[in-house]
Copies of this chain bind each other. A is one copy, B any other.
Amino acid sequence: MTFGELMLRISPAGDSRLVTATGADLAFGGAECNVAVAAARMGASARYVTALPDNSLADAAIMKVRSFGVDTAHMHSIPGRMGIYFVEPASGLQPASVIYDRAGSAVTCWNPTDTELEGMLAGVTHFHFTGITVAIGGEAVLTLIRILERCKERGIHVSMDVNYRMKLWSVDAAANGLSPVLCYVDTLICNENHARLLFECTAEADLEKANLLHVRFPGLTNVVVSRRRAVDETHDAWSVVAADANGHSFQSSKRNINMIERVGGGDAFAGAFLSELMSGRALEHCLNFGAAALALKHGIRGDFCTFTRKDVESVMFANSTSGVVR
> Which residues of A are in contact with B by a Cβ distance under 8 Å?
10, 12-27, 55-57, 59-60, 63-64, 66-69, 81-82, 84, 86, 88, 90-101, 103-104, 165-167, 228-230, 233, 236, 257-260, 262-263, 295-296, 298-301, 306-308, 311, 315, 318, 320-326
Contacts and interface: CB of A to CB of B under 8 A. Distances in A.
A167 B323 CA distance: 14
Contacts of A24: 10, 23-26
A16 B311 CA distance: 16
Nearest to A66: B67
Nearest to A20: B306
> Taking each of A55, A228, A298, which has the highest tally of chain B beta carbons within 10 Å of its own beta carbon?
A55
Contact of A91 (B300, B320, B322): B300
Copies of this chain assembled into the complex: 6
A98 B325 contact: yes
A230 B18 contact: no
11 contacts: A17-B306, A18-B60, A22-B22, A22-B27, A23-B25, A59-B308, A63-B68, A82-B101, A92-B299, A96-B324, A103-B104
B57 A99 contact: yes
Contact of A22 (B25, B91, B94, B97): B25
> Taking each of A94, A96, A260, A301, which has the highest tally of chain B beta carbons within 10 Å of its own beta carbon?
A94
A315 B257 CA distance: 24
A326 B320 CA distance: 34
B66 A20 contact: no
> Taking each of A25, A229, A230, which has the highest tally of chain B beta carbons within 10 Å of its own beta carbon?
A25
A238 to B, nearest CB: 12
Contacts of A16: 301
B98 A326 contact: yes
B92 A263 contact: no
Contacts of A307: 17, 94
A18 B86 CA distance: 17
A15 B167 CA distance: 29
Contacts of A323: 95-96, 230, 262
Given A92-B260, A230-B322, 12 more contacts: A10-B24, A16-B301, A22-B26, A63-B69, A66-B67, A66-B69, A81-B103, A84-B84, A92-B299, A93-B295, A93-B299, A93-B318
A25 B55 CA distance: 19
A97 B262 CA distance: 23
**Closest 9 A/B residue pairs (Cβ):** A92-B299, A230-B322, A67-B67, A98-B326, A63-B67, A91-B299, A96-B324, A97-B325, A18-B56
A230 to B, nearest CB: 3
> Taking each of A67, A229, A301, A311, which has the highest tally of chain B beta carbons within 10 Å of its own beta carbon?
A67
B258 A92 contact: yes
Contacts of A56: 17-19, 88, 97, 99
Contacts of A59: 19, 308
Contacts of A300: 17, 91-92, 94
A94 B296 contact: yes
A63 B20 contact: yes
